[in-house]
Amino acid sequence: ADPVLLVSTEGAVRVLTLNRPQALNAFTTAMLGQLRHALEDAAQDPAVRAVLITGAGRAFCAGQDLNDPSIKPEFAEPEASDAAAHAASTAEAAGGQAHRRPKPKDIGHLLDHYYIPLVLRLRTMPVPTLCAVNGVAAGAGANFALGCDLVIAGRSASFIQAFSRIGLVPDCGGTWLLTRLVGRARALQLTLLGEKLPAEQAQQWGLIAKCVADEELASVAMATAQQLAGMPTKALMQTRAALDDAMDLGLEDALRMEARLQSQLGYAHDYLEGAAAFLDKRAPHFKDR
């Protein structure tokens, strides 16, 4: 069988490609596990300075694979009394399945065992992450993409908070991310209606960084990832953490946090190198991670 996650490296950029194109790269437990391990591996590898994530085929990711046995709905056979009542019902006449008995399912365990560790790993990566959204990103696929530091989408891509369509709440960090990214009104619009948001509008709303022509997506994403890889990684990652923390701080606390981080970075190689390179009118060579 084809690997469900392709892993490659270009220079200091680790590229992870979701690879189940026949199912629009829907997440299986195998894929979620491999993705987490691949992120862990990139985090541990000092040669990796940026991670680029994309999907194979026409989609980025259709979210949780709804065929996964642990989440796929199952129905008990109707009992005789049910069947008699059912036969007389209009639902039967319409070919309906109104009286099939759903078996209770604990679908939350996938979140505990797969999604939560994955999202936490993504959001605390020691190197910048970039998602190249090459087609539809739905459900957990959308929110995983939006969890990356930068999101660049092809013009034909779209984002769907598909959860409400199947009776679920947004997960994979969606509740936390969407309100922060686009505010409550638009977060509610996206999550309640579950409508498709085209990439161009996502960019106009500030949900993603860039929307580019489909044929340029791969090259723009790789060039941006290489740009990030050449930058002062530690300062970038402190910036991410500071922006996240600042959401919950008052101005004075944010100012003090900035001062604390700046003091620490002032002793680091990359500041000394960056400032010296500027004064010497040469390109800096950053190495802190």
Residues at the site binding ligand T3D, with contacts judged by CB under 6 A: 23-24, 26, 62-67, 71, 107-108, 110-111, 136, 138-140, 160, 162-163, 165-166, 168, 171
- Based on its alpha-carbon atoms, the radius of gyration of the chain, rounded to whole angstroms, reads 23
- Asked if 55 contacts 63 with a C-beta cutoff of 8 angstroms, the reply is no
Beta bridge partners of 272: none
62-to-37, 101, 174 alpha-carbon distances in Å: 21, 27, 15
**CB of 11 or CB of 198, closer to ligand T3D:** 198
CB of 89 to ligand T3D, least distance (A): 29
CA–CA separation, 207 vs 62, rounded Å? 18
**CB of 13 or CB of 18, closer to ligand T3D:** 18
Length of the chain: 289
Q: Tokens 């299986």 correspond to what residue?
A: 28
**CB of 30 or CB of 242, closer to ligand T3D:** 30
Q: Tokens 């078996």 correspond to what residue?
A: 103
**CB of 149 or CB of 171, closer to ligand T3D:** 171
CB of 235 to ligand T3D, least distance (A): 34
Amino acid (one-letter) located at 286: F
CB of 257 to ligand T3D, least distance (A): 34
CB of 49 to ligand T3D, least distance (A): 30
**CB of 14 or CB of 36, closer to ligand T3D:** 36
Amino acid (one-letter) located at 157: A
CB of 55 to ligand T3D, least distance (A): 11
